[in-house]
Structure 1
Amino acid sequence: MINKKSTILICGAGSIGIRHAKNLINLGYKNIVFFTNRKKLKIGSYKPKTFLKIQDAFRNYNFKIALITNETNKHIDTAIYCASKGCHLFIEKPLCDKKDKVKKLINIITKKKLINMVGYMMRFHPAIKKIKSMILKKSFGDIYHFYCEWGEFLPNWHPNENYKKSYAAQKIKGGGSTLTLSHDIDLMQFFFGKIKQSLIIKNKIGLKIQTETSTNIMLEFKKNISGFVHLDYLQKNEERFLKISGTKMIIKFFYLKNILKIYRNKKMKIIKYDKFHRNLLFLSEIRYFINNCKKLHICSPNINQAYKNLLDSKLI
């Protein structure tokens, strides 16, 4: 039985692993263990136990939940080990950078009936929920086009670190603009369903790193819905924008300003999410995952869904 006394394993102590730990602590789950190469770790006043070898962690603790937050290229092997020990799994996005062993992981979680989830936290944004609701209610009429753009300057992510050594800049670790910034591709699948066709153009310009720095993706869904996703590591003035056009309504979502504009019948309505802050996305998704583990309810997106989405969109 999972409760606030349960010990939770976090595999990877980078920025996202630390963020999840802080949120778990705030939710009352204070028995956290890390599998990491960092020998000493402190989160506020909390000093979690750390292990250099995952086998040692499992020899010392009985985990029911594991969060996989290490480098993308290590996700599947780490998840397979934790699943084989009977852990419900939360895997940070993207699920993987290669097809290798994913089916083995899916077989294990299916056989053991493990709850699992992939961390595309943008699905928990109130504006995204609003847009999804309007799509389900067919408020747009016939949707004929979408466009979304996400551009950031990679060297600004962690200014005190060498960005060229970050996982996001290294091909061997599963980095690159396509997978690292794949949230918006997940959102288009969340909105419109199964992808029919995908065309991806990757460019390696502007930064001297191993991976692509810019990605352009054309996607076609059922019911003649098609559009364009642009992702890049190059924009010094960060941009994040979504537009969906239908015969009855058009929306524009400005993520950085937390503003959703709805155009209908020659009128514009503005919804401001003034009380929203970014960590609420991560807090909401981890609360959702933990609650589903307690109730043994299926999560979305789960590993099987995320894997199919990566294949359909030709990201791997």
Structure 2
Amino acid sequence: MASTSAEKVLIVGYGSIGKRHLGAFEAAGAEVAVVTQQDVTHQKIYRDVSSAVVEYNPGIVVVANSTDKHLAALENLKLAGFKGIVLVEKPLADKVISFKHSFAGLYVAYNLRRSPLLTRLKEELKNREVVTAHVYCGQYLPGWRPQRDYREVYSAKKDQGGGVLRDLSHELDYTQWLFGNFEYLAAQGGHFSNLEIDSDDVFTLLGKTQKSPHVVVSINYLDRVARRTILVHCQDATLFVDMVAGRLMINSEVVLDNLKVADTYLEQARSLIEGRTQSLSSFDDGMSVLKLIEAAEHSSQERKFINL
């Protein structure tokens, strides 16, 4: 196989998130092709991963099909002899997996790590003692993709890797990125609303992390007003992030304002093209999130604290 180019990107899957990645990489100056069964006339199209790898010879592959198909896509890339960089849409898979590879790099698309809000928050926390942290994300599932029936999207289907615990696992990733991995936790969650889905729509985790004795993460599919916030009480200050408003406050002072989350997709794309991958979520980070998800589910089912 000829040498690959990081400026040639292959997107596996052409749903809403695949289209978002496509737009980000094109904006970053990359040439982009797609693996999909859809009839798409304005893109270079392949029907399977193997032929795309051989014929298109990409340097970067983005796995953006449904969560339950991520592992199969990774296996197909390995079988096709792909040696470049792989970015897998979050979460890494629908359950903890065992996967060995010889890719140049394997990352998980927890792009909120590229947010200036979170990178600044991480910097501000570096020399502070965190007492407690409260992470919240809620958005009404029927409003996510208004052009589609919410009951038909993968988020609504447990067997496709849907459910708020996996769908909003950004919160789990950046919580551990900011405050260290959970050491133990208790969780309560499930399908509690009248949404016509069979996946979980509410989950709350409470536990101790490496850098904080008290961390709460609460996520749901129910909030009619989309909210994504982080409240951190330190010994010497209170820090608050509102990612919808794009705002970071330290006590009563507004430190950053009007920053856009959408820009993190573009920054993630540029980082991969330029080889700036140090702060991206690694395969091991993605596996840590999957283990955290399984621990939360086990805790909720067994009604007890779980050590990690």
Which of structure 1's runs of 4+ aligned residues deviate more than 4 A? Answer: 1-4
CA shift at 1:179, angstroms?
A: 0.6
1:39 maps to 2:27:
no
The answer to whether the Cα contact below 8 Å between 2:246 and 2:261 also exists between their aligned partners in 1 is no
Does the CA contact (< 8 Å) of 2:11 and 2:62 recur in 1? Answer: yes
Question: Could you list the per-position Cα deviations for residues 71-126 of structure 1 after superposition, in whole angstroms to 9, with x for gaps in the alignment?
Answer: 00111110122134223200111111112xx322xx21xxx252121111111111
Native 8 Å contact 2:4 2:58 kept in 1: no
Q: Where in structure 2 are there 5+ consecutive unaligned residues?
A: 298-308
Tell whether 2:255 aligns with 1:271: yes
**Displacement, 1:51?**
2.1
Give the counterpart letter for 1:8 in structure 2: V
Question: Distance in 2 between the 1:209 and 1:82 partners?
Answer: 32
Equivalent-residue separation in structure 2 for 1:215 and 1:300 (angstroms) = 25
CA RMSD of aligned residues (A): 2.0
Q: Normalising by structure 1, what TM-score?
A: 0.86
Aligned to 1:27: 28
Q: What SS does structure 2 have at the residue aligned with 1:34?
A: strand
Distance 1:167 1:15, change over 3 A: same
Task: Classify 1:220/1:154 alpha carbon distance in 2 versus 1 (closer, same or farther; 3 Å).
Answer: same
User: What is the identity, as a one-letter code, of the residue corresponding to 1:24?
Assistant: F
* 2:172 counterpart residue number: 185
**Counterpart Cα distance in 2 of 1:222 and 1:246:** 15
From 84, 92, 103, the equivalent of 1:95 is 92
Query: Secondary structure in 2 aligned to 1:94?
Result: coil
Q: 1:228 to 1:131 in 2, by over 3 A?
A: same
The answer as to whether partners of 1:71 and 1:167 remain within 8 angstroms in 2 is yes
Matched, 1:129 2:130: no
Return the alpha-carbon distance in structure 2 between the equivalents of residues 176 and 149 of structure 1.
16
Cα shift at 1:135: 1.5
How many matched pairs?
Answer: 291
TM-score by length of 2: 0.88
How far apart, in 1, do the equivalents of 2:203 and 2:12 lie? Answer: 29
Match status 1:151 vs 2:115? no
Residue deviations 1:137-193 (CA, integer Å, cap 9, x gap):
x1x3x2111111111110011112110010111111101011101111111100122
2:267 counterpart (284, 288, 301): 284
SS at match of 2:120: helix
Aligned letter for 1:92?
Answer: E
Q: CA shift at 1:223, angstroms?
A: 4.8
**Identical counterparts, % of pairs:** 22
Alignment pair present for 1:14 and 2:15: yes
Instruction: Decide whether the 8 Å contact of 2:179 with 2:211 is kept in 1.
Output: no
**Residue type of the partner of 2:286?**
A
Code of the residue aligned with 2:200 in structure 1: it is E
Matches for 1:159-308 after TM superposition, within 5 Å? 159-204=146-191, 205-263=193-251, 268-274=252-258, 276-292=259-275, 300-308=280-288
2:48 to 53, 68, 74: 53
Write out per-residue CA displacement over residues 188-224 of structure 1, whole angstroms, 9 at most, x where no aligned residue: 1001222101222113123110101111111311255
Pick which of 50-59 and 213-222 moved more: 50-59
Q: Is the 8 A contact 2:28 2:269 kept in 1?
A: no
Give the unaligned 5+ runs of structure 1: 42-46
